Structure 1
Amino acid sequence: MTPEELVGQATNGSLVILLLAAFIIISIFLGVRIVPQSEKHVVERFGRLRAVLGPGINFIVPFLDKVRHKISILERQLPNASQDAITKDNVLVQVETSVFYRILEPEKTVYRIRDVDAAIATTVAGIVRAGIGEMDLDEVQSNRQELISQIKQQVADAVDDWGIEVTRAEILDVNLDQATRDAMLQQLNAERARRAQVTEAEGERKSVELNADAELYAAQRAAEARRVQADAEAYATEVVAKAIRENGIEAAQYQVALKQVEALIKVGEGAGKQTVLLPANVLDAFGDAFNMLKGSK
């Protein structure tokens, strides 16, 4: 074999080795897939779903398997959307909503829906209109949290076949047209006036009740005082009667004389200068009282 042939064979052998090495390197490059923590990769083989690669190092068959879709599994927020809705009592409102979601099963999302954001937005709009249509305006304003929970649950059920999880659904605002606002303001002012009248009437009624209670208490106290006075007079009468029964007419005369003396003393204690007219038999009254007192001793 000539030197030229030997050189040609060596060259061909080196070329084969280089090609083989390049094939191995390319195969390793194509067969090893490193997936970030925030993504999932959908792998196809001959146009059909082969596997879903999770975060970390994954291996596929080079030249046969191909990564067709790289799907982020981070939570996403739909753009704030506004839609008109009519309440149960025929009031037109404009509802502003916001929805957060994330993809759990990329193979469903890729092969079952084309535009995820648009599909979710349309679903939310329909559910919001249906939910508000079952509620009066006052219920929409006061039970917003209940409406949010209802929307979130219904949206979650609707998008479950798409491999999507709805994490949050919010109603940011409920706007009314100017005519409805004016009507509500008039109603609010009328309600405030009514409450003020009711409060004033309640105050007057309470005042009347308190005055009546005070008069009743005063009457009760006066009646009690009269009863006590009557009891005292009855007791005094009973004492005099008992004294008469036990001591005869002298005890009665003694009591009369004693009362006369007490009356004269009270008249003499009056303020200022005054003239006191005494009955002719006043001295006899003093004498009778003194004699009876001595007799009693």
Structure 2
Amino acid sequence: MGNLLCCVQVEQSTVAVKEGFGRFEQVLQPGCHCMPWFLGKQVAGHLSLRLQQLDLRCETKTKDNVFVNVVASIQYRALAEKANDAFYKLSNTKTQLQAYVFDVIRASVPKLNLDDAFEQKNDIAKAVEEELEKAMSAYGYEIVQTLIVDIDPDEHVKRAMNEINAAARLRVAANEKAEAEKILLIKRAEGEAESKYLSGMGIARQRQAIVDGLRDSVLGFSVNVPGTTAKDVMDMVLVTQYFDTLKEIGAASKSSSVFIPHGPGAVREVASQIRDGLLQASHH
């Protein structure tokens, strides 16, 4: 009906290319336009001005000889002021874009190791965008955004990378565990040393208290009983302690002590040893 009435309608976000007898005349903006077909006027075609996206998957090789699939997304659109170039100069826009993208990716990625390629995805995307912008602007297209969505190595490579990462983490965990055990051993040794030190101090104080008590007993007995010597008093004190010890052992219902043949006379030897020790200590 539009052709019969010599009218044509152009949709929003779209432009139409008007020709007269097969020659380009003008770009028709959205709206209704007069198109007298009997004068050789016609619409050669329509061109969308909407943002379009092209997803590509390019296989290439890194510097360390790892084959990867680089997934890229190209967002582009035709320029209204250059609609005639976009309509006439390119027969297949997506094929042209793909050729440029593959060329840049296969020139950039082989210069990088696999780890560097993952880290420099933005640099690769920027290089692709700059090359596309320079090439496609002559054809009436604008490159809005270029994204490197993913870098996908072979499955065996990914498994090997995961194993390397796992081994590194296990090594770190082993080092941390060893450090923890080392600290534990050091603290335990420090605790044992402190315990033995305190125990030694306690034994030394105990022995000092015994010596002081014996000395006081000897002095007191010598003062109260004239004519007694220190040796006599020491012998009596030791014999008294000897019988007190036997009494305590005998009073225990479940005593596990073993007696060997001995007699109170053996106390004299013990008294002699203690007396000699006291004399040497006082001499020093």
Describe the superposition over 1:171-205 as per-residue Cα deviations: whole angstroms up to 9, x where unpaired: 556355x9xx58x9789878877876786677567
Structure-2 residue corresponding to 1:82: 58
Q: Does 1:234 align with 2:211?
A: no
Opposite residue 71 of structure 1, the aligned amino acid is L
Indicate the SS of the match to 1:221: helix
Contact 2:57 2:70 in 1 (8 A): yes
Q: Does 1:121 align with 2:98?
A: yes
Gaps of 5+ in 2: 225-229, 250-254, 268-284
**1:145 positional shift:** 5.0
Q: Does 1:267 align with 2:254?
A: no
Structure-2 residue corresponding to 1:13: none
Q: Does 1:223 align with 2:197?
A: yes
> Mean alpha-carbon deviation: is it higher for 210-219 or for 125-134?
210-219
Contact 1:42 1:107 in 2 (8 A): no
Q: Give the distance between the partners of 1:151 and 1:257, measured in 2 at CA.
A: 107
**1:135 positional shift:** 1.6
CA distance 1:43–1:169, change in 2 (3 Å): farther
Structure-1 residue corresponding to 2:67: 93
Structure-1 residue corresponding to 2:15: 40
Q: Give the distance between the partners of 2:93 and 2:33, measured in 1 at CA.
A: 29
CA distance 1:79–1:272, change in 2 (3 Å): closer
In structure 1, which of residues 118, 131, 134 is the aligned counterpart of residue 108 of structure 2?
131
Percent identical residues? 14
**TM-score where L is the length of structure 1:** 0.57
Contact 1:71 1:106 in 2 (8 A): no
**TM-score where L is the length of structure 2:** 0.59
Describe the superposition over 1:202-260 as per-residue Cα deviations: whole angstroms up to 9, x where unpaired: 7567646644543343133112210232234335545666x489958448888986665
Q: How many residues align?
A: 246
Opposite residue 226 of structure 1, the aligned amino acid is G
Describe the superposition over 1:27-74 as per-residue Cα deviations: whole angstroms up to 9, x where unpaired: 9933x54222353223457845534413xx244575597533301244
Q: Give the distance between the partners of 2:222 and 2:100, measured in 1 at CA.
A: 115
CA distance 1:27–1:124, change in 2 (3 Å): closer
**Equivalences for residues 134-145 of structure 1 within 5 A:** 134-140=111-117, 142-143=118-119
Structure-1 residue corresponding to 2:26: 50
Q: Give the distance between the partners of 1:122 and 1:269, measured in 2 at CA.
A: 106
In structure 2, which of residues 152, 169, 188 is the aligned counterpart of residue 174 of structure 1?
152
Q: Give the distance between the partners of 1:44 and 1:260, measured in 2 at CA.
A: 139
Contact 2:62 2:112 in 1 (8 A): yes
Q: Does 1:69 align with 2:48?
A: no
Q: Give the distance between the partners of 1:272 and 1:278, measured in 2 at CA.
A: 20
Gaps of 5+ in 1: 1-24, 283-297
